[in-house]
Amino acid sequence: MNEALPDVPEVRVVGLPQLTSGFDLVERLDLPMHLKVHGPLEPMGGEQLAQLSERINLKGRGGAGFPFHKKLRSVAEAAIRRGVRPVVVVNGSEDEPACRKDTVMINRAPHLILDGALLVAEALGARTLVVGVTRESTQRSMEAALSERGLTNRRGATIRARVQRNPVRMVTGAAASLVRSIDGGPAIPPGRKTSASQNGVGGAPTLLSNAETFAQLAIAARIGAERYGNTGLYDEPGTVMLTVSGAVARPMVIEAPTGVPLRYILQLAGAPPVPQGVLTGGYHGKWLDSATVNEAIVSRNSLDAVGGALGAGAILPISTATCPLGESLRVAQWLAEESAGQCGPCYLGLPAAARGMEDILNGGGPAALEALKQVANAVKRRGACSHPDGSAMFLESTIKAFTDDLAAHVLGNGCGRPVEGVLPLFEGGQQPTGIPGGQAEPEQGPSRQKIYVDWTLCRGHGLCADILPEVFQLGADGFPTVAQAGVPRYAEAKALRAVRRCPALALRLEEDTRGATPRQNLPAVREGGGGGRRALGRGR
């Protein structure tokens, strides 16, 4: 089985380093070393900064690829129109198991990121800077960098700067999740899609971008658009940071100019000479089959043209010795578990899609394949964030890229190859499905709560399955498929909500206190003004 990637894997450079300058000298560039390597940075006006971003075609490096100059102008216009100061947020929430490029940058070159963020803050007149992280190592490095610059969150400071630490979860990296957590809420997307540029932190226009994006801006501001454009492709100049893992001899982060052949990047990391396929863009990305890999070059447009995706820069080859559908099933199951648990297309659709992939592997035939296609299509463009869209794209790409293996499983007895687990996943200690990751870690372990269905009252409304999918699923007749079940400890609050919202009052929740002292983890319901503890449910 492939072990999880370390926070800071090996770093390599193709050509001359830009973002990784000085990495050969020290493990971490503190402020004095940062200035020796990169030199001072002069401030720039807002429009000057926007023109620079436009000339170098700088796009967000977190996955979405939105043009930075448009975001900068949008925030500036909103702030002027409303007469408020905007906020600048650095998104370093790198929560995908296959991505480490931002974590490497924050741990080894935090001041390059801060250069870009402070450049933007001064140009916009912002007085608040927040850096979102999810790892202990990135929190320590960025807090040290703020201290080295004398930046604090104290009132009266010219610019108030702080680090926001959130749980490691796929949905935490969404812009809306980070904004919500900065405002004191859980680190999950709100129930509706919002624009941080118009209504972000504290309701103010907020320029939120990926950590690498700010570092790229800092490089361009120092050397100018013309010199920056001498590296890489004409229409996508500069370098990109890539995380290469999967079936490789040496997982690593690579800084490479755009235009480098993808096969050369794979060769550097020790990938198989002829990989069975390469997942580009990470677990919200797309597969390239073995024939297409040789045509691809490292750039957003090139990868899009051959059916791949640059995304957040994750590159994952697999060998011919493993079952690609089985590898993808492991990822699909993890993606389903990473749901925020608050919109149906995500917390119901993604587990259904993973079960559909499993049905195909278990010999479900053409019907299983058709069911998977329908579920993947149904979840798209319906979620509160991009998680269901990216997950559906991954599944659709899987069944498109590996047609021979798909035929072997759908029409025959399978491909006969094992699942080696070469695609890295977080193992153990991660928050399960539906936990709205806030500042504290949720309770783990078994629960002593049991939920019961009273069949004499149940009318098949299905609300229980919407609220508590960890326990309830609906059968073909529209009724729950279980009569009683234990409730995972992390889902106890949702179980109580399901009981209280059941239209037919057909649910009850009881605590099994055998062999243990009852826990006061759920509100006690009392008869009248006094009385003792009783079952929660009917009559309330």
In the prediction, which pLDDT does 132 show?
A: 96
pTM of the model: 0.79
CA quadruple 162, 176, 8, 240: dihedral sign: negative
β-strand partners of 297: 261
For residue range 118-146, what is the model confidence (pLDDT) as tens digits? 999 999 999 999 999 999 999 999 999 99
Radius of gyration of the chain (CA): 25
What number is the average pLDDT over the span 190-219?
A: 91
Chain segment 88-107, per-residue pLDDT in tens:
999 999 888 999 999 999 99
Residue whose tokens read 């699923």 = 473
Taking residue 464's Cβ as centre, other Cβ atoms within 10 Å add up to 25
Q: What band does 513 get if pLDDT is binned at 50, 70 and 90?
A: low
Each residue's pLDDT tens digit, 388-406: 889 999 999 999 999 999 9
Segment 256-284 shows an average pLDDT of 95
Predicted confidence (pLDDT) at residue 180 exceeds the cutoff of 80:
yes
Q: Which of the pair, 383 or 137, is modelled with greater confidence?
A: 137
Are the beta carbons of 322 and 430 closer than 8 angstroms? no
Q: Which of 21-30, 173-182, 336-345, 484-493 has the lowest mean pLDDT?
A: 484-493
User: Parallel, antiparallel, or unpaired: how do β-strands 449-453 and 252-257 relate?
Assistant: unpaired
Edge-to-edge strands of the sheet including 10-13? 10-13, 252-257, 239-244, 314-318, 277-280, 286-289
CA 376 to chain centre: 19
Residue type, 506: A
Q: From the DSSP assignment, how many helices (H) and strands (E) are in the chain?
A: 19, 13
Residue 511 pLDDT level (bands cut at 50, 70, 90): confident
> Can you read off the two tokens belonging to residue 288?
């390239």
Residue 485 CA to chain centroid, in angstroms? 31
CA count, 13 A, side-chain hemisphere, 180: 23
Q: How many residues does the chain have?
A: 540
pLDDT at residue 528 tops 70? no
Q: Which helix (H) or strand (E) holds 78?
A: helix 68-82
Min mean pLDDT across 5-9, 30-34, 68-72, 522-526 is at 522-526
- Asked if 201 and 87 count as a contact pair (C-beta separation under 8 A), the reply is yes
How confident is the model over 429-438, as a mean pLDDT?
34
Instruction: Measure the CA–CA gap between 253 and 11, rounded to whole angstroms.
Output: 5
